[in-house]
Amino acid sequence: SAAQGPNAVRPIRLGMVGGGQGAFIGAVHRIAARLDGAFQLTAGAFSSDPERARASGAELGLAPERVYASYAEMAEKERARADGIEAVAIVTPNHLHFGPARAFLEAGFHVICEKPLTARLEDAVELARVAAGAKGVFVLTHNYTGYPLIREARDMVAAGRLGRIRVVQAEYAQDWLTEASETTGSKQAEWRVDPDRAGAGGALGDIGTHAFNLLSFVTGLTLDSVAADLSAFVPGRRLDDNDHVMLRFAGGAKGLLWASQVAPGNENALKLRVYGEKGGLEWSQENPNQLWFTPFGEQKRLATRGGAGLGAAAARVTRIPGGHPEGYLEGFATIYREAAEAIRAREEGRPVPDGVLFPTVEDGLLAMRFVDACIRSARDDSRWTPLQP
Ligand code: NAD
C-alpha cells in the first residue's frame, strides 16, 4: 500500500472461504491476518448463499469482482489474475474444509485452514497426501499454540526442566451446549451437532482436538492408545457433548483429557497441567499471561508473559511488555505471522526460519486419528484402543 516504504514487505494477498455475515471465526481470522500487516484480504467466497456472500464482501470493502458465489469459482478466477490471491483461509463448517483445501492446494495456493482438519478421517488422510506434494504451505489454526507462555512451556519440557514426563491433564470445558441450543437458532450450534457436517466427533472434534493438539505441542509425547467414555447428555443429540478420555503415551507417560460443552460456568476453559519427575507446569487459556512452574521441593514460580526469565521462543512471539494483557486475538495472529514466514520462505525456496512454529496437516491428521480412536473405543465399552497408524 502507499503507506509502505520501498523496503517494506508486500502483504500476502488472502482469500477467504466462509466467514460471511453472522459467522463466528471468519472475523477472528480477518483480525489475526491484519494484526501484523502480513496479509491483505483481497477476495472471498463468504457464504453458500450468493446474496449473503455478495453483501458480506461489500461490507468488507472488497471489489465486487473479487467476491465469488463459490470457492471453486474463486480458485479458478483468482488463479487467472496477475494480482490474484496467494493464500486462502478456510473458515467453513468442518465438512467444508476438505473440498476447498484440496482444490486450493491443487491450484498452487497456500492454505490456512480451520480445525478439525476434516469431518472424516479418510479425507484427512487424502488431504495430508495432497499437501505433502503441494507447492503451497498448509497451516492449521490450532491457535492456542501461538501463546507466548505455551511456547515457553514447550521449551521447558524439551529442556528437561520437568524431568521425564509422567502425567498430563488436559481439559477444554464450555457450557454453551448445555441446553439444546441447536434447536433455538444458534448458527454455530446447528451444524456442530450434525454428524454430516461436524464429523463423527461432537465436542471431541470441536474442542477435544484443541486440547489434544496443545498437550502434544507442549509435551512432544506420542499418543499410543486411548480409552474413551463419550456421552451425549442432551436428549436427542447425536454427537458427544462430554468426553472423558484416558491416554497412554509411548514411553509410559499417562494422561487424561476432558472435553465438555455441557459444563455450566465454563466459557473457554482450556487448561493444561504437565507433571514430570522433577516438576510441574500449569496453564489456563482464560489467564494466558501466567504460567506456573513447580519444581519439586522448591517454591512455586509464576512466570508472566513478557516478565523476567523467559526464553527466546516466548520472546519471539511477545508483542507488548508484560503486565499489558495479550490474549486470544494476539495468539491467533501469531499463527498468521508464522504462516507468513513459512509462505515467504516457500516462495523464495528457503527453509522455514528457525523458531517458526505452526500446526501442520500432519498435526491435523493426528488429531483426526485421536478422534477416530476415541470413537472406536467408546463403541467398545471404553476398551483400550490404539491409534490407527
Ligand atoms: P459459523 O457457522 O459461524 O460460520 C461458517 C461460515 O461458513 C458461514 O459464514 C457460512 O455461511 C459459511 N459457509 C457454509 N457453507 C459454505 C460454502 N459452501 N461456501 C462458502 N461459505 C460457506 O461457524 P464457525 O463457528 O465460524 O466455525 C467455522 C470453522 O471454524 C469450524 O470448522 C470450526 O471448528 C472452526 N472454529 C475454530 C475456532 C478456533 O479457535 N480455532 C473457533 C471457532 C470455530
**How high is the pLDDT of residue 389?**
78
Q: What is the pLDDT of residue 7?
A: 61
The ipTM is 0.99
Question: Ligand 1 in contact with 45 (CB < 6 A)?
Answer: yes
Residue range 64-77, pLDDT digits in tens: 999 999 999 999 99
Inter-residue contact 374 to 386 (CB < 8 Å): no
C-alpha of residue 48 to centroid of ligand 1, in Å: 11
The CB of 23 under 6 Å from ligand 1? The reply is yes
Is pLDDT of 24 > 90? yes
How many angstroms is it from 207 CA to the middle of ligand 1?
A: 14
Predicted pLDDT at 1 = 41
Determine the Cα–Cα distance for residues 13 and 332; give it in Å rounded to an integer.
Answer: 18
User: Given this model, what pLDDT does residue 331 score?
Assistant: 98
Q: Whose CA is nearest to atom 12 of ligand 1?
A: 18
Q: Is 93 in the pocket of ligand 1 (CB under 6 A)?
A: yes
Contacting residues for 92 by C-beta, under 8 A, at least 6 apart: 17, 18, 100, 114
Residue 184 has pLDDT above 90, yes or no: no
pTM score, whole prediction: 0.97
Average pLDDT over residues 36-51: 97
Distance from the alpha carbon of residue 306 to the mean position of ligand 1, in angstroms? 33
* CA-angle at 94, arms to 246 and 143, nearest 5°: 65
Residue 234, Cβ neighbours under 10 Å: how many? 19
Answer yes or no: is the C-beta of 24 below 6 A from any ligand 1 atom.
Answer: yes
Confirm if 357 and 145 have CB atoms less than 8 A apart: yes
CATH fold group of domain 146-318+360-379: Dihydrodipicolinate Reductase; domain 2 (3.30.360)
Question: How high is the pLDDT of residue 196?
Answer: 95
Please give the CATH number for the structural domain made up of 12-143. Answer: 3.40.50.720
Q: Which residue is closest in CA terms to ligand 1's atom 31?
A: 93
Among 114, 174, 194, name the best residue to mutate to test ligand 1's pocket (greatest count of ligand atoms within 8 A of Cβ). 114
What is the per-residue pLDDT for 173? 98
Domain boundaries, the chain: 12-143, 146-318+360-379
Placement of cell 447425536 in the chain = 238
Instruction: Give burial (CB, 10 Å; 0-12/13-18/19+) of 63.
Output: exposed
**Separation of CA 351 from chain center:** 23
Which residue matches cell numbers 509435551? 219
The 8 Å CB, 24+ separation contacts for 100-106 are: 100/17, 100/71, 100/75, 101/127, 101/130, 101/131, 101/138, 102/126, 102/127, 102/130, 103/71, 103/72, 103/75, 104/71, 104/75, 104/136, 105/130, 105/131, 105/134, 105/136, 105/138, 106/130, 106/134
4 pLDDT more than 60: no
